[in-house]
Structure 1
């Protein structure tokens, strides 16, 4: 949709200050007019596909605005070729394309014509534009009397409500009150979901990270870097902080590894890994693909643990920030659309139950179960309840087994509760021996209950992986399969993907492995990712969120 090949832009700047046309003519004729050349862009090449949301970052004077004007057709490059397919709505400068002596009503048609739209089309869209801008009572007022926020509302409404193929935005989303910023962000989301290609320039890296699928970094007119949003943004921040590009590569090498991958799942044709201590969720359609080829969710987490979906929205807990983040698919990526708070301290496990069409989660440090429901695209909190029978135990996991919720492990016990009626009343409990009291997860697979263990009853790290047929006899009878699976670290969450049981390994050693069951016997153990002990880049990535 957009192709730039070896594009350069040079400006000639006069060395002397010329005060009049006469002075200019005299110096020009006498050959005393001197110029210096300013290179705004130097040999820039890249392509943007339809539906992509691409961010452009760089310090002041990097060439960002010049680049946008070239793509918009406002400037012609001094060298190179630019090819753009589709209609463009450029929002480059507040009020550009407006006549301040005309009314807002007249400027709708003037600005719309500048964007290439017919009078008939603008007449059809007029009421929609006015309604979105919330300027109904000011449409017959000359815009010279408008505030900058009112001009921004009108410009944004015209540019986005005519459904352009390409929308170019230069910092304009940061203008206006909080209400309109939320409204404009929602409209941007609708455009992006509808396939509009968006190029966004912003000094807000948080905004770039949340909205963009790729990022271009310009430095003094040169294309410094282009690629994955987080990778480019991290390299840019490192450069600002004086970290060399070579050191930046070392710091960013964590992207090819896992550090405490707490969960793996498959939804549709894609695999998802929650890479907890790297603070990210990654995904791919090919499980054999190297980790550095997996793509990352566009969002910011601190120690996520699990992911759940109803097929429309994808929920991930942001554990250290006491919240759950909601994501939606946009093209080939996933974009954060909602943050849910006030659900307890340190949410640690999410599950989706297709029977009740609800999400359930456990807040590990406050012993609260929370219930979330997707209602017409918005995830709402249906219930939050503190389970007094958990006492003050740190609880890492819940699972739905045989129409009941299993909670592991409470105060030395596995708790079983009614969840369908939202009462969460305790219906039974199973005592857990001292060495298994710090459980991570419990799943029923075949004839056995499988349990992963982090700590013993004293809080000492003492990893185990066990299975038992009868939870009533768990205190005296269980099978230890830790060595059989060749584990080195702490086993964490189980998941069943097609005909295999997957297990994540965390903490002192990171890996993901799977196995098959035939008549409850374990066969065909496969190590999918054997990352081992965390290196310097992973340790720094983990600690950077708490610096």
Structure 2
């Protein structure tokens, strides 16, 4: 979609300050004009595919904004070629493309026309643009009287609500109040999920890591590094903080777990998703020390779950808004694919062996995605936003008796139909206030087991409960937290052979298991009792 080849941009800067046309002509005729050359970009090459979200980072003066202006067509490079397919909505600076003497109403049509949209199309989108900007009372006010935040709202609303093929953003998401920043970030993720190609510049490395799939690091006009957002941001931060490379590669964290979010067994191997260490490890024996486990990958951003159909492993890459695919190769596994455009923060993936499909939930965008294995290649079968989830953060889905259960819902456990793949809501169960921040749900024998992170106000209040009837959850449940001697937050359940496993995260890391006989719990074991994170783990969490 975008192809940049050997692009250089040189500016000629006059050494003398010239105050009038007459002075310029005299100096030009007398050959007394002197210049110095500034190389803003030097031999820059890269390609961007449709639907990618690319971050550009670098110090002030690195050439980031110049590069965006070249891609947008505002500047013509001194050397090199730029090919762009699709319409571009550039948000490079506040007020760009606006006439400050015109009203907000007039500028919607003016700016939209500059972006290439017809008057009829803008008329159809007008109400949506105004509603998003929340500027209903100021439509007929000249925008010279607007604050910078109001101008940003208007610019963002026009640029993002006309569904561009390519969206270019230069630091604009950092402007405005906290409420609008959150609103605009959500809109950005909707665009990304819909296939819009996004190029963004930001000095917020956390924002870049959360939103971008790849990152380009510019240094004094040249490309210093291109690659996975985790690795590039880590290298950039290392240099900015003058942290010696040896400290960044400190591997002592590999001997421990830090908030393991899932343990499961695939073939003859146990897999642990080591969330805040940003990795997945596997081993045939659960009693071996963590240091002896094999690394599947350590380039994912806060993963939560892994699922398999026997041939492929699919792992959610939550912080990069993607999933990773691995193929089994003899006794090991090799990376195969990255799947994007499935929503914001995929958080749980499960496999339906009857339909031979993978289901996943994107926690922050309330999108259910369906993936299928087509001769060893994963394809997106469907992505649907489930309106009945409202705007709740949904951590988990569970397949129970051919139905999908969603937690946490909007104060409810919600159940959807999978028989006709409509995912229509067929049942819901109210949840008491103290259990509303649920993590996971599983049914074993007569009981539903539920792990809980927070109460209805968002306060951390961990619980692990079970009930025989979800209809009675509000009046009767059994709390197992103390019985299992838990100290952190119970997260994900797994049933492996004759044992039930539950992972423990956040302030305390461990994996516990127990057996059930006629619903009675016995033989409680703690397989890894890591406790609080050490300095190496905290360092790994922050820099990956």
Bin of the TM-score, shorter chain as denominator length: 0.5 to 0.7
Structure 1 residues 86-485: aligned runs within 5 Å: 86-243=86-243, 246-247=245-246, 250=249, 263-264=262-263, 274-279=273-278, 280-281=302-303, 282-283=315-316, 284-288=324-328, 307=348, 311=359, 313-314=361-362, 352=398, 354=400, 357-359=404-406, 372-373=413-414, 382-384=430-432, 399-405=442-448, 417-423=467-473, 425=476, 449-450=498-499
User: Is the contact between residue 308 and residue 314 of structure 1 (CA under 8 Å) also seen in structure 2?
Assistant: no
For the structure 1 residues 258 and 404, does the alpha-carbon distance in structure 2 shift closer, same or farther, using more than 3 Å as the test?
closer
User: Is the contact between residue 165 and residue 196 of structure 1 (CA under 8 Å) also seen in structure 2?
Assistant: yes
Q: Secondary structure at the match of 1:9?
A: strand
Structure 1 residues 15-30: aligned runs within 5 Å: 15-30=15-30
Aligned to 2:291: none
Number of corresponding residues: 436
Deviation at 1:141, TM superposition (A): 2.2
User: Is the contact between residue 27 and residue 33 of structure 1 (CA under 8 Å) also seen in structure 2?
Assistant: yes
The range that moved more, 57-66 or 138-147, is: 138-147
The range that moved more, 214-223 or 2-11, is: 214-223
Q: Distance in 2 between matches of 1:91 and 1:397?
A: 40
Q: Distance in 2 between matches of 1:170 and 1:232?
A: 19
For the structure 1 residues 443 and 187, does the alpha-carbon distance in structure 2 shift closer, same or farther, using more than 3 Å as the test?
closer
For the structure 1 residues 407 and 55, does the alpha-carbon distance in structure 2 shift closer, same or farther, using more than 3 Å as the test?
closer
List gaps (5 residues or longer) in structure 2. Answer: 279-301, 304-314, 317-323, 351-357, 372-378, 384-389, 417-422, 452-463
User: Is the contact between residue 259 and residue 275 of structure 1 (CA under 8 Å) also seen in structure 2?
Assistant: yes
Q: Distance in 2 between matches of 1:377 and 1:10?
A: 58
Q: Distance in 1 between matches of 2:327 and 2:252?
A: 20
Structure 1 residues 6-21: aligned runs within 5 Å: 6-21=6-21
TM-score (norm: length of structure 2): 0.64
Q: Secondary structure at the match of 1:286?
A: strand
RMSD: 5.2
Deviation at 1:194, TM superposition (A): 1.7
For the structure 1 residues 79 and 177, does the alpha-carbon distance in structure 2 shift closer, same or farther, using more than 3 Å as the test?
same
Deviation at 1:401, TM superposition (A): 0.7
Deviation at 1:31, TM superposition (A): 2.5
User: Is the contact between residue 169 and residue 199 of structure 2 (CA under 8 Å) also seen in structure 1?
Assistant: yes
Question: Which is greater in Rg?
Answer: 1
For the structure 1 residues 272 and 58, does the alpha-carbon distance in structure 2 shift closer, same or farther, using more than 3 Å as the test?
farther
Q: Distance in 1 between matches of 2:484 and 2:183?
A: 54
Q: Distance in 2 between matches of 1:350 and 1:49?
A: 31
Deviation at 1:155, TM superposition (A): 1.4
User: Is the contact between residue 104 and residue 140 of structure 1 (CA under 8 Å) also seen in structure 2?
Assistant: yes
Q: Secondary structure at the match of 1:46?
A: strand
Q: Secondary structure at the match of 1:13?
A: strand
Deviation at 1:35, TM superposition (A): 1.2
For the structure 1 residues 371 and 401, does the alpha-carbon distance in structure 2 shift closer, same or farther, using more than 3 Å as the test?
farther
